[in-house]
Chains A and B, each alone.
Chain A
Amino acid sequence: MEDALTLILAGISVGSVYALIAIGLNLTYWTTRTMNFGQGSVMMLGAMMTAVLVAGGVIDALAALASLVVIAAIMVFTEVFTVRPALKIGGSMGWAVSTLGVGIILQGVAAKYFGSQAVAFPDMVFSAQDYVEVFGVRFALQYLAILVLSVALVALLELLLRRTVWGRAMRAVSMDADLAAVAGIPVRPIVLGSYIASGLLAGIAGMLIAQTGGTVDPAFGFDLMIFGFVAAVLGGIGSSSGALLGGLVLGVIEKLVGGYVSTAAAHGIAFALLVVVLVARPQGLFGQREVVKV
């Protein structure tokens, strides 16, 4: 029983990571119905650049800030030069491929200039040894920080979306950007803002995740991004609270499978779950089906 509890807590730890990634992915979906297939590389870049800067003697906070500024610029570039033109092609093939392309560029650049070997990532928020005890099981504070951030973000975003005029504007943009523009909503800044916010979130997520593992390499973000997709899909794409739940469910399933079946199967199960949920409940476990007009 204590085993199960350990596994579940471990699951909640990694699950909160997936949730954080999924929340970031959702942000752009809100405004443009697109998702950044290069998000994994953005996470990697946030972590890796910080690590390299810190190794070069820059203080932690400054290094993190500098990385986030670079990420914001990259997201602006992504939106302006690859997503917006690709949306004109029609269908999602254009932007799915072009954002994947940007991700691959970033990964290639990181491998070229930071090296393809793993770089040590410094402890930024807590050290890996910090923990609290929950029912006699250790819960690492680094993970707790991620969980707290995820929960806080979900609360904030739900509030933003439901209660503020910005939330309504964002929903209007996602429904019909042209109509929203006619209604006087500043569509461009909102879309651009969602991309920047999504990128910043990914960057922060990258740093928080990198410190739990202690290292980061150019291929670091890709699988995590897929787990983020799984979490987003599980919870219903676009839903913040769904992303949180989806992430936690995914994390717990992964750890339970790893603990009771085989650690080798843990990752495969997550990918398989993506396939199954997309087929059986494309609106997510907690979402409602969209009605499509023919």
Chain B
Amino acid sequence: MTGVRRLLTALVTNPVAIGLLVVALFAGAGWMSGGTLQILTFLLVNILLAQSMNLLTGVAGQISLGHAGFFGMGAYASGILMKSYGLGFVATVPAAVAVAALTGLLVSFPAGRVREFYLAMMTLAFGLIFREVVREWNDVTGGAMGLSGVPSPMLRTLVIFDLKIDAAWYFRIVLIITAAVMWLLHNFIQSRFGRAFYAIHVSEVAAGSIGIPRAATKRLAYVLSGALAGLAGAFYAHLVGYLGPESFDLPRSVEVLVTTVVGGLGSMAGQVLSAVLFTFLPEKLQVFAQYQFIVYGIILAFSLIVIPRGLAGLLLLPPRFVKRAALRRVGDAAEPIRAVQATSEPGLRVERVTMRFGGLTAVDDVSLSLQPGRITALIGPNGSGKSTLINVISGIYQPSSGVVRFFGRAITGMADHRIAASGLVRTFQDPRLVPSFTVRENLLLGAHRLFRRNGLAAALNLPGAIREEGRHLATVEAVLRMAGLAEVADRTIESLPYGYRRLVEVGRALLAEPRAILLDEPAAGLTEAEMALLARLIRAMKQAGLMVLLIEHHMDFVAELVDDVVVLDSGRVIYHGDVQGMRRDPQVIAAYLGETEDVDA
């Protein structure tokens, strides 16, 4: 079965095969009947629309139940601009893309603030608002009567640069643009941008912890998804020549969602397969057309449960999120983590931080500082406020009072991703990785904050973007070896046991090349062998001149690693010093073992 999948994947992702197909369709268009050309063009529209939905819902994880709104925006924009304002095709299509992208941007502001089923409701509302506007704004959209007479190649009324465009040439134009857009999109998703989309999809908190700004990333996803849907809409408008509000109502949104879910969320190739299926099935199968709505319902109700990965999951290997050209370029070269310039002053200062939740004081007037090249352990009984303190330092909580300074700058109140981007990263008690990513991809995700090349360079696969990705892949290789993960580098996280995940998360934090790193119980649940590897990673951090704060219960592990110990009890610092001193400290003993009786009295 895997063999078949590999073969199919090789075929559908082979650039030569795809190129030949495009050329064949381009050349063959001259011999096709009008009906064939129409349905093939419609297929291309559906492919673009499915890619748009997949980018937003499948990749970035933002469910959309109102996608017909973006599609309609593009369709009406191009149709109205051409019919009512006489603009040419070369102007109306980019304008439609821009209008739909802008709509995406506008939707992203409210939508970016909600998640889960609140987002489902909100996108549903967006689709309905679009419908209401189209229905009621008679003067512009034609209202419920619709807008007819949009120039169309089917009626020989579409003119580009004084040339009458027929169905064959329209198909060719749409084909070339679709192929180009798919190529750009593919490259883009395989860059740090696509990885960032996946990161916020899986865990926004974890994404923030490695410096991925969730709001901006979501905005980008909405804008691009809107633009793609707008492009599809513009092509659709001129294909059919008539726009009515019912074409952009809920059933259309459902249809796109069905296509995307069946294709397989996250898989571009799956979207194409699924678009083919849902474009030709109603045509070829009259029975299907009759029961179309019921079938769509059944698919929505059960496909995520029965085949969560859709057609792509059945037929193809899962998509990868590293540029193949960059991988080839690096080979097995390894580049160690660069050392941080040593400074003698403490880089991170926690000054009198207090954190209250209602009546509970979780962290009570805590001060501590971290020195470059030193490992500080933060220990204490359960509920003593250790994780809360890390949440305050990393910007997840805003403290009730007190300040955290990072190289002199107050970072309290800063967004978590900005704190991470400034070089202060953390790990979580429960590893928060992207399960469908390989170990290598997850580690590369850690380097997100170090990438400088823009999205256009990534989409065009410019040499600079490939070089940059290659450089970070070499660092990934070094960390893989150091953490004993080289063997499993190309296995997905979800296929690996727990211990590996821990190591990957710590490695991922290291890949950010931070100046300070906060580790929340990294050794919990590890075997002895894994703990040795973890210790090696942490020592490497120290050697690289990082400040390390380590929360850990495993005393032997702590004792052989750390330089300083801070002990918390009920939110207060009860000890600060070295390990030997801690073992003799009566307050620490009392906190851990209960009050001791004074036998001499």
Interface string of A269-288 (1 = CB under 8 A from B): 00110111011001000000
Contact between B297 and A104, CB atoms less than 8 A apart: yes
Known: A96-B117, A274-B125. A107 touches B297 (CB 8 A): yes
| Interface presence of A265 (CB below 8 A) | yes
Tell me, yes or no, whether A249 is within 8 Å of chain B by CB.
Answer: no
- B278 CB within 8 Å of chain A: no
* A98–B304 touching, CB < 8 Å: yes
Q: Does A117 contact B (CB under 8 A)?
A: no
Q: Is A196 an interface residue (CB 8 A)?
A: no
Which residue, of B113, B301, B302, has the highest number of chain A Cβ atoms within 10 A? B301
Bound CA–CA A229/B357 (angstroms):
31
| Chain A nearest CB, measured from B136 CB (Å) | 4
- Provide the residues of chain A in CB contact with B205, threshold 8 Å: 294
> Would A226 and B305 count as touching, CB distance under 8 A?
no
In this complex, the member of A98, A101, A102 whose beta carbon has the largest number of chain B beta carbons within 10 angstroms is A101
Interface residues contributed by chain A, number (CB under 8 Å): 49
Residues of B within 8 A of A34 (CB): 117
Instruction: Judge if B189 is at the interface, Cβ distance under 8 Å.
Output: no
- Which of the candidate stretches A14-22, A81-89, A125-133, A186-194 sits at the interface with the other chain? A81-89
Q: Judge whether A89 and B118 touch: CB under 8 Å.
A: no
Compute how far the CA of A35 lies from the CA of B297 in the bound complex, rounded to whole angstroms. Answer: 17
Expressed in whole angstroms, the Cα–Cα distance for A127 and B257 within the complex equals: 42
Interchain CB contact (< 8 A) of A89 among B117, B121, B293, B308:
B308
Judge whether A271 and B128 touch: CB under 8 Å: yes
Task: Assess whether A134 is interfacial by the CB under 8 Å rule.
Answer: no
Query: Is B128 within 8 A of A105, CB to CB?
Result: no
Neighbouring A residues of B117 by C-beta, 8 Å: 34-35, 92, 95-96
Residue of B nearest to A102 (CB): B301
Instruction: Please name the residue on chain B nearest to A267 by beta carbon.
Output: B132
From A93, A98, A111, A264, give the contact of B293 (CB < 8 A): A111
Q: Do A98 and B294 have beta carbons less than 8 Å apart?
A: no
A116 to chain B, nearest CB (A): 10
Q: B299 touching A278 by the CB < 8 A rule?
A: no
Say yes or no: is B458 at the interface (Cβ < 8 Å to chain A): no
Residues of A within 8 A of B118 (CB): 233, 278, 282
A291 within 8 A of B: yes
Interface residue A103 (Cβ < 8 Å from any Cβ of B)? yes
A101:B299 contact, CB within 8 angstroms: yes
User: With A105-B298, A294-B391 given, is the CB distance from A94 to B305 under 8 Å?
Assistant: yes
* Chain B residues near A99 (CB-CB < 8 A): 301
Given contacts A111-B293, A112-B294, A271-B132, contact A101 B300 (CB under 8 A): yes
Shortest A204–chain B CB gap in Å is: 23
Residues of A within 8 A of B126 (CB): 271, 275
Q: Is the CB of A82 within 8 A of B302?
A: yes
Say whether A105 contacts B132, CB under 8 Å: no
- Contact residues in B for A272 (Cβ distance below 8 Å): 125, 129
Which parts of B111-167 form the interface with A (CB within 8 Å)? 113-114, 116-118, 120-122, 124-126, 128-129, 132-133, 136
Closest Cβ neighbor of B416 among chain A residues? A294
Contacts of B121 in A (CB 8 A): 226, 229, 233, 274, 278
Query: CB within 8 A of A103: which of B116, B136, B297?
Result: B297
Q: Does A154 contact B (CB under 8 A)?
A: no
Check: A223 CB closer than 8 A to any chain B CB: yes
Task: Say whether A97 faces chain B, with CB atoms less than 8 Å apart.
Answer: yes
Number of interface residues of B (CB under 8 A): 47
B22 within 8 A of A: no
User: Chain B residues with Cβ under 8 A from A167's Cβ?
Assistant: none
Establish whether residues A94 and B122, one from each chain, have CB atoms under 8 Å apart when the complex forms: no
Cβ-defined contact, B305 with A86, below 8 A: yes
> Are A105 and B297 touching (Cβ within 8 A)?
yes
* Bound Cα distance A108, B254 (Å): 13
Using known A-B contacts A96-B63, A222-B250, A294-B205, determine if residue A105 contacts B305 with beta carbons closer than 8 Å.
no
Digitize B282-312: 1 where CB-to-A-CB distance is under 8 Å, 0 elsewhere.
Answer: 0000000011111111111110110010000
Task: From the candidates A85, A93, A267, name the one contacting B63 in the complex (CB within 8 A).
Answer: A93
Cα–Cα, bound, A223→B257 (Å): 19
Q: Are A101 and B132 in contact (CB under 8 A)?
A: no
Minimum CB–CB distance from B11 to chain A (whole Å) comes to 30
Residue of A at shortest CB range from B397? A294
**In the assembled complex, how far is the CB of residue A199 from the closest CB belonging to chain B, in whole angstroms?**
16
Which partner residue on chain B sits nearest A78 by CB separation? Answer: B301
Is A152 on the interface with B (CB-CB < 8 A)? no
Q: Is A37 an interface residue (CB 8 A)?
A: yes
Taking a contact as CB atoms under 8 Å apart, the answer to whether A282 and B120 are in contact is no
The verdict on B396 contacting chain A, using a C-beta distance below 8 Å, is yes
Q: At the interface, yes or no: A144 with Cβ under 8 Å from chain B?
A: no
B residues 369-420 touching A (CB-CB < 8 Å): 391, 396-397
Q: Which of A96, A106, A271 contacts B129 (CB 8 A)?
A: A271
B300 A294 Cβ-Cβ under 8 A: no
* Cβ-defined partner of A268 (8 Å) among B110, B122, B132: B132
A223→B128 contact, CB < 8 A? yes
Q: What 12 additional pairs, Cβ within 8 angstroms, besides A82-B301, A226-B121?
A: A92-B116, A93-B57, A96-B120, A97-B257, A100-B300, A108-B292, A108-B294, A108-B295, A268-B133, A274-B121, A278-B113, A278-B122
Interface residues of B (CB under 8 A from A): 57, 61, 63, 65, 109-110, 113-114, 116-118, 120-122, 124-126, 128-129, 132-133, 136, 205, 250, 254, 257, 261, 290-302, 304-305, 308, 357, 391, 396-397
Q: Which A residues are closer than 8 A to B by beta carbons?
A: 34-35, 37, 81-82, 85-86, 89, 91-109, 111-112, 222-223, 226, 229-230, 233, 264-265, 267-268, 271-272, 274-276, 278-279, 282, 291, 294
Q: Can you identify 13 A-B contacts, CB atoms within 8 angstroms?
A: A34-B117, A85-B305, A86-B304, A93-B120, A94-B304, A104-B293, A104-B297, A106-B297, A107-B297, A108-B294, A271-B128, A274-B125, A278-B114
